[in-house]
Structure 1
């Protein structure tokens, strides 16, 4: 049956209009993608892969970036630096007044760094104050020196032959971080598996791009796929199997004076900063306080999870050369924890030991929480020695120097 010419004309007009609308819609989408890539490139100095950032869960909608000097990367201004990117998708999800929200940070830097690393402070908050789970960071793996945190990924890359700000560097680092780590962009309180993988790819590509800019010889391989979620902690000391396995094996937790829980990560000797944290559960802390503290008005009972703890760190390479001990004196600089030596802070319950691993210095620190140090410091020496022994044997270290026994218990100078 022949279609009347008038009907054919109407259909053709409708099809043309539909095509125009489709072209307009596609054009708008293309423009939005092009502009979003431009925003990331401008913010991050062309170092951060824009396509990867655009594939993150909160990256839909319109992207913008911070336009101030702080929050944009310009390598001519020195290192470290970071860039900050915003999206309307994140803004809608969190109901912001501006209609957009900061959702991504890319950061870069080099070692040796001008900023020193300060050892844990005795008043650190190590666990969720409401008793929720804590997610200690884990090694990235895949032959890469890197860590996965509850919000992003940090990687390091040796930088043979590289130069920044007119001086040679030994290594560089890059961080890719999601700034919206609550629903709807998370699963079970953690980053989605998709976003973890994208952040790892972003951090690695950013590090390799920076290596090219600085003249470094090496590049990182592709990161592992399907990066697992972080394990929850703390866990009973009887289940320790990573950086705190030595504590379980030595049986310290069987004594009611020692911590009964641990926060740990998998071991990875590439890491420049490895940690094992021992914490007292609420019952053990309260019982120990009742039994051991004579003057309860002077030393209040611990009331939050992990308020009493022992935090043990190993810093390697350049980080070990610039570790400072905490100090309660605001008018004095913190004391250094010098490689090749050992001792304790004159002000706070912080001790350090040192060693040499693969020709690089290592500094091993131990911090006791205030309050707990008064009831355990006379016994904690053997735990610190066991920790240092475990790390140095596992890493084939030599030249181990430990604090003298007279450094225990802690007494302020």
Structure 2
């Protein structure tokens, strides 16, 4: 059927207007996409893949980067410590939503062990997710904020200095806003893993390293929530369940653990006294052991244990209770003043390992008499599992009861 001339002309005008509007909208979208990519490249030193960042859930609208040394990646600063880029998203309300970070080994800034004042359990929203290995033949891990990966670096250098290893990180910030129940969502986990791997490979190419990481595994599973009862420990804290130490008075009844992966540069296990158990122990022992504070918050009484491997193990400082950090190096063993952190060391297949134990503030008085047994059980299990030699362990008198 042929339309009357007046209607036909009106329809043609309408179609032209729709086409022009579509072209204008498409042009704005193209410009916005190009501008966002430019912002990502400018802030992240061309290392972070802009296209994958734009695939994140809250990456819609205009993306801008934080200007200044604190929010942009400059390769010349790598030997001193981490370099990071901070990105803001219009869809996220103009808020900070993404961090990309890189670093190299050796670097000037040391890794500082856990602080006895910082419990491993989230004390505010009750959801805590211990980090898990990334897998897929990659030295890396996924935690509640993002993904970090590492690779050796043969033949690379930065600022005229040789590089032995490098790492990259991709994460959401703040996680409480841009995550599902406090951890990255299903799609974002995979995208963050891709970003971290591509960033590490881009950095390796830029520095002249021979190594490259493979593609990360797809469909990364959600992080399991913790802590869980000791009887369910089957990963990095399985040694504690098997040791029988949990039966001792006042010892932790819960664990935060990851899957075992001997390639990790930081394998962790956290032992936690549940709130009810901690308060009951406090009432029973407060006079006998001169306990100085009531454990009123979840996870306030804890023990954290780490094994740092390879290049990372070579530059660790033990967090001193007075704020003075103590270098903890492979081939040595000791503790910080006040019995805050202990460390031991070993060699596993020629690779240095540093083992640390941090006991929460006030809880050291509960387990003082058994602290050596606890640390020795941990170190013995992991060194046997990794077939390590040349063990250096703290002297028994370093586990004496802490003083005020």
TM-score when normalising by structure 2? 0.94
Looking at structure 1, the residues matched to 39 and 9 of structure 2 have their Cα atoms a distance apart, in angstroms, of: 45
Q: Residue 211 of structure 1 aligns with which residue?
A: 204
1:264 maps to 2:257:
yes
CA gap 1:14/1:254 in 2 versus in 1, 3 angstroms: same
Q: Residue 39 of structure 1 aligns with which residue?
A: 39
Per-residue CA deviation, residues 16-40 of structure 1 (Å, 9 max, x unaligned), is 2221111111111111111111111
Q: Residue 352 of structure 2 aligns with which residue?
A: 361
What pairs up with 1:311-326 in 2 under 5 angstroms? Answer: 311-326=304-319
Contact 2:318/2:328, CA 8 A, preserved across alignment? yes
What pairs up with 1:83-162 in 2 under 5 angstroms? Answer: 83-91=85-93, 100-130=94-124, 132-162=126-156
Per-residue CA deviation, residues 67-108 of structure 1 (Å, 9 max, x unaligned), is 2232112324445311111111101xxxxxxxx111111111
Displacement of 1:277 in angstroms is 0.8
What pairs up with 1:331-350 in 2 under 5 angstroms? Answer: 333-350=324-341
1:393 maps to 2:384:
yes
Q: Residue 94 of structure 1 aligns with which residue?
A: none
Contact 2:291/2:365, CA 8 A, preserved across alignment? no
Structure 2, gaps ≥5 residues long: none
What secondary structure does 1:12 align onto?
helix
Displacement of 1:200 in angstroms is 0.4
Alignment length (residue pairs): 402
Displacement of 1:14 in angstroms is 2.1
Displacement of 1:263 in angstroms is 0.8
Displacement of 1:2 in angstroms is 4.1
Contact 1:392/1:398, CA 8 A, preserved across alignment? yes
4+ long deviations beyond 6 Å? 295-298
Contact 2:303/2:359, CA 8 A, preserved across alignment? yes
Q: Residue 3 of structure 1 aligns with which residue?
A: 3
CA gap 1:297/1:406 in 2 versus in 1, 3 angstroms: closer
Displacement of 1:346 in angstroms is 2.6
Contact 1:347/1:412, CA 8 A, preserved across alignment? yes
What secondary structure does 2:100 align onto?
strand
Looking at structure 2, the residues matched to 125 and 76 of structure 1 have their Cα atoms a distance apart, in angstroms, of: 35
Q: Return 41-50 or 295-304, whichever deviates more.
A: 295-304
Q: Residue 27 of structure 2 aligns with which residue?
A: 27
Looking at structure 2, the residues matched to 323 and 14 of structure 1 have their Cα atoms a distance apart, in angstroms, of: 69
Looking at structure 2, the residues matched to 6 and 120 of structure 1 have their Cα atoms a distance apart, in angstroms, of: 78
Structure 1, gaps ≥5 residues long: 92-99
What secondary structure does 1:189 align onto?
coil
1:68 maps to 2:61:
no
What pairs up with 1:277-316 in 2 under 5 angstroms? Answer: 277-294=270-287, 299-316=292-309
Looking at structure 2, the residues matched to 27 and 345 of structure 1 have their Cα atoms a distance apart, in angstroms, of: 61
